[in-house]
Amino acid sequence: MNAHRQDGAGRRGSERQAARAAGASTAERLLPEAAKLFRERGYAASSTRELAERLNLNKASLYYHVESKEDLLYEICSKSLRDVIASAEAVIERETSPKARLEGLIRSHITAITADIDMHATMLLELRSLSPGRRHDVMQLRNFYEALVEHEISDAQHAGDLRSDCDARSLALLLFNLLNWTITWYRSDGDLDPNELIDMSLRIFLEGAGGPR
């Protein structure tokens, strides 16, 4: 029965609107829904067919909003990094000591990725699926952000707030290790809330897990 209507084909506009989250236009739902799909299946394994179904749209209608599937990935990656960089720059302006700036950066990183895990997970893991030119653009943003964090790590070392027997580059790599793998297991409905994760990450990174305490 109505097997040929699986795509929502033939629905009238009013019905489609009723099926949507209240008030969100197709244009507004496009990126979040794409990010969700790309995180669940991976970019390459995600079809425009399935994205359209989730939006209650016909496959073809997607192409009124975007020129290609890759556009979606590019916009997700760009937006993710623009948001992360904006948060980081706000922290750096606001905080006055190297230690407070570094702690603030760790907080804002975890806050950002847990608040929109689909978008940030897609950026971090699916970036490689972009064509060379666009991948390069996104990598420049990402390198800018990571250099910004590494710079604060270096400042904190010189202020005596971080150990100096590892170079700033290596500390930055291990810090991003500690922060980024979270995207592979974090669930907003899980039993670890973002603030707990922030507290623990700060303690483990700054004080370590050793000792009885």
Query: Residues interacting with a copy of itself, by CB under 8 A?
Result: 41-45, 124-125, 128-129, 160-166, 170-171, 173-182, 184-185, 192, 196, 200-201, 203-213
Residue 194 binds DNA, judged by CB under 7 A: no
CA nearest 202: which of 116, 120, 110? 110
Identify what 54 binds: DNA, a copy of itself, none; CB under 5 to 8 Å per kind.
Answer: none
SS3 8: coil
Comparing CB distances to a copy of itself, the nearer of 112 and 124 is 124
Identify what 185 binds: DNA, a copy of itself, none; CB under 5 to 8 Å per kind.
Answer: a copy of itself
Closest approach of Cβ 210 to a copy of itself, in Å? Answer: 4
Binding mask 65-104 for DNA (x = CB under 7 A): x-xxxx----------------------------------
φ, ψ dihedrals at 180, nearest 5°: -85, -30
| Contacts of DNA in 14-73 (CB under 7 A) | 16, 25-27, 46-50, 56-61, 63-65, 67-70
Long-range Cβ contact pairs of 2-10 (< 8 A, separation 24 or more): 6/53, 7/49, 7/52, 7/53, 7/57, 7/58, 7/59, 8/53, 8/56, 8/57, 8/58, 9/58
Residue with tokens 């964090």: 149
Closest approach of Cβ 150 to a copy of itself, in Å? Answer: 13
CA 54 – CA 205 distance, rounded (Å)? 40
Closest approach of Cβ 43 to a copy of itself, in Å? Answer: 8
Comparing CB distances to DNA, the nearer of 8 and 194 is 8
- Over its C-alpha atoms, the chain yields an Rg (Å, rounded) of 21
CA 163 – CA 142 distance, rounded (Å)? 25
Positions that interact with DNA (CB under 7 A):
5, 7-11, 13, 16, 25-27, 46-50, 56-61, 63-65, 67-70
